[in-house]
Structure 1
Amino acid sequence: MAGRDDRGALAALPVSGVLLEKGSYRARLALGADDVLAAQRLRARCFATGTVDQDQFDADCLHVLIECRSSGALAGCFRLMLLESGQELSQSYSSQFYDLSRLVGFSGRMLELGRFCLDPGVLDADVLRLAWGAVTSMVDRQGVALLFGCSSFAGTSPEAYIEAFALLQHRHLAPPLRRPGLKVAEARSFTDLLQGRSAQQKPDLKQAQAQLPPLLRSYLAMGGWVSDHVVVDAALNTCHVFTGLEVTAIPAARKRLLRGVAEPL
Structure 2
Amino acid sequence: MGRRRFKRAGLAGRFQPAKVYGRIGPLEVRLARKRGEIRRAQRLRYQVFYEEMSATPDALAILSRRDEDAFDGVFDHLLVVDRGNENDGRRWRRAKVVGTYRVLRQEVADLYDGFYTQGEYDIAPLLKAKSPDYSFVELGRSCVLKPYRNKRTLELLWQGVWSYVREHGADVMIGCASFPGINPEAHALALSYLQHYALAPEEWRVRAHEHLRVDMNMMPRDAVDVRAALKALPPLIKGYLRVGAYVGDGAVIDHQFGTTDVFVIMPVEAIKARYFDHFGAPDALVAQVQGEFAPLN
TM-score range, shorter chain: 0.7 to 0.9
Offset of residue 85 of structure 1:
9.7
Paired residue for 1:153? Answer: 179
Paired residue for 1:174? Answer: 200
Aligned AA (2:79): L
Question: What TM-score do you get using the length of structure 1 for normalisation?
Answer: 0.87
Which residues in structure 2 correspond to 1:76-95 (within 5 Å)? 76-84=99-107, 91-95=114-118
Offset of residue 80 of structure 1:
0.5
Paired residue for 2:268? Answer: 247
Say if 2:249 is the partner of 1:211: no
Paired residue for 1:67? Answer: 81
Paired residue for 1:200? Answer: 222
Alignment RMSD:
2.6
Name the SS of the counterpart of 1:77 in structure 2: strand
Which residues in structure 2 correspond to 1:49-68 (within 5 Å)? 49=57, 50=62, 51-68=65-82
Paired residue for 1:138? Answer: 164
Alpha-carbon distance in 2 for matches of 1:235, 1:245: 26
Paired residue for 2:122? Answer: 99
Aligned AA (2:68): Q
Give the number of aligned pairs.
254
Q: Which has the larger radius of gyration?
A: 2
The answer (yes or no) to whether the contact 2:196–2:221 under 8 Å persists in 1 is: no
Please, which runs of 5 or more residues in structure 2 have no aligned partner?
1-6, 51-56, 86-94, 288-293
Deviations 1:13-49 (A, max 9, x none): 9732322212331011112121111111111122114
Distance 1:3 1:109, change over 3 A: farther
Runs of 4 or more, structure 1, over 4 Å off, are 85-90
Alpha-carbon distance in 2 for matches of 1:133, 1:120: 20
Paired residue for 1:185? Answer: 211
Larger strand proportion of the pair = 1
Deviations 1:152-177 (A, max 9, x none): 11221212212211211111111123
Please, which runs of 5 or more residues in structure 1 have no aligned partner?
none
Offset of residue 251 of structure 1:
1.7
Aligned AA (1:146): V
Deviations 1:198-254 (A, max 9, x none): 4532x2233322222222112111211111211100111111111010001112112
Name the SS of the counterpart of 1:174 in structure 2: coil
Distance 1:89 1:210, change over 3 A: farther
Distance 1:174 1:97, change over 3 A: same
The answer (yes or no) to whether the contact 2:208–2:248 under 8 Å persists in 1 is: no
- 100-109 or 24-33: which moved more? 100-109
Percent identical residues: 29
